[in-house]
Every structure is written in C-alpha cells, then in structure tokens.
Amino acid sequence: MKTILVYYSLDGNTDFAAKKIAAATGGDTLRLFPKKAYPTSGFGKFFRGGMHAVLGKKPPLETYAFDAAAYDRVILGFPVWAGHVAPPLLSFLRDNDLSGKQIAAFACQSGSGGEKALAQLKSCLGREELDAERILIDPKSKPSPENEQKIREFCEKLR
C-alpha cells in the first residue's frame, strides 16, 4: 500500500512525530508551508494562528508536488490551534480530492482541543471515522514514554 504523510508543523512537534511515523510506515512525506509564515513566538503567534484557525482561514501554500492517484493511504498531521485544525492543512484539503483513500491522522497539542480538531477534520473529509487517529502532547518539546507508545500504537494500526 503506497502511503504519504502530509503535515504542517510550526514549532517542530508535528514534524518530529511525522518523521517517526514515516520511518515506521515507510511512507513518503509532504510538509506544507504557507506562503506567509505564521509567527513562531509572542502574542502574534497565538493571536494570528488562533484567529485564522477559528475563522477557518485557508492560506495560500508554497508550491508542492502531490498526485493523489499515486497513493492508497494519506496520513494527515497537524498542530491543534484553538481546538481547530491548523489552517495550512485545511488549504491542502481544499485543494486535493482524497475521496477513496484510506485516511489516518494525528494531532499535536500543548493543552486541549485535539478531539474537537479531529472531529473538524472528519467533517472536512466527509467521514465519520478515520483508519487511525492519535493525539500527542508536545512530542518534541516534552518527550515522554507515553507519546512514544502512542506513536508506536498509531503505526501498528497502519500496518
């Protein structure tokens, strides 16, 4: 089964998890970058990112290569912003038809809102369930055996 892991990462937590998951599943990776980067610190980070997430903004992305027909499974990864999917991933979903694909997803959060964000993702995809889903708490900035176990279990579901 040909797999690609598509993700957006601001602080590196989603990137950290994506690399572990891609290594374990043997999938390709596609990291998304908005044309106008989000602030990485201070008030602007939370205000602009949170506001865009709550309002459902879909920012333009840097050019990327993706052919949905080349993949059977798509794994989506994103940080949770104000209980929502990070806007760059919403842009990807707007621009690509993933119908007929197996879909799995993982969300990285510092606080709460992962369940709400995964529900939003399912709604965007028009699905009630995903093949696998997982919420991770700051896997890079706060490494823990619990996160490592969650990543292993997520990957096992995808085998």
Task: Tell me the domain boundaries of the chain.
Answer: 3-157
- For residue 158 the two structure tokens come to 């995808």
Find the helix or strand (DSSP H, E) in which 31 lies.
strand 28-31
CATH T-level assignment (fold) for domain 3-157: Rossmann fold (3.40.50)
Q: Is 6 helix (H, G, I), strand (E, B) or coil?
A: strand
Cα–Cα distance measured from residue 101 to residue 71, given in angstroms and rounded to the nearest whole number: 8
The neighbouring-strand residues paired with 81 are 84
The DSSP result for 79-111, as a single string, is EEETTEE-HHHHHHHHH---TTSEEEEEEEESS
62-88 pLDDT tens trace = 999 999 999 999 999 999 999 999 999
Element (H, E) at 153: helix 145-157
Strands 132-137 and 102-109, how do they pair?
A: parallel
Radius of gyration of the chain, Cα coordinates, nearest whole angstrom = 14
**CA distance linking residue 158 with residue 7, whole number of Å:** 17
d(CA 31, CA 42): 24
Query: What angle (nearest 5°) sits at the alpha carbon of residue 52, between those of residues 56 and 80?
Result: 85
Burial class (CB in 10 A: 0-12, 13-18, 19+), 14: buried
Ordered per-residue pLDDT tens for the chain, 159 residues? 899 999 999 999 999 999 999 999 999 999 999 999 887 888 777 777 778 887 788 999 999 999 999 999 999 999 999 999 999 999 999 999 999 999 999 999 998 899 999 999 999 999 999 999 999 999 999 999 999 999 999 999 998
36-47: per-residue pLDDT in tens?
988 788 877 777
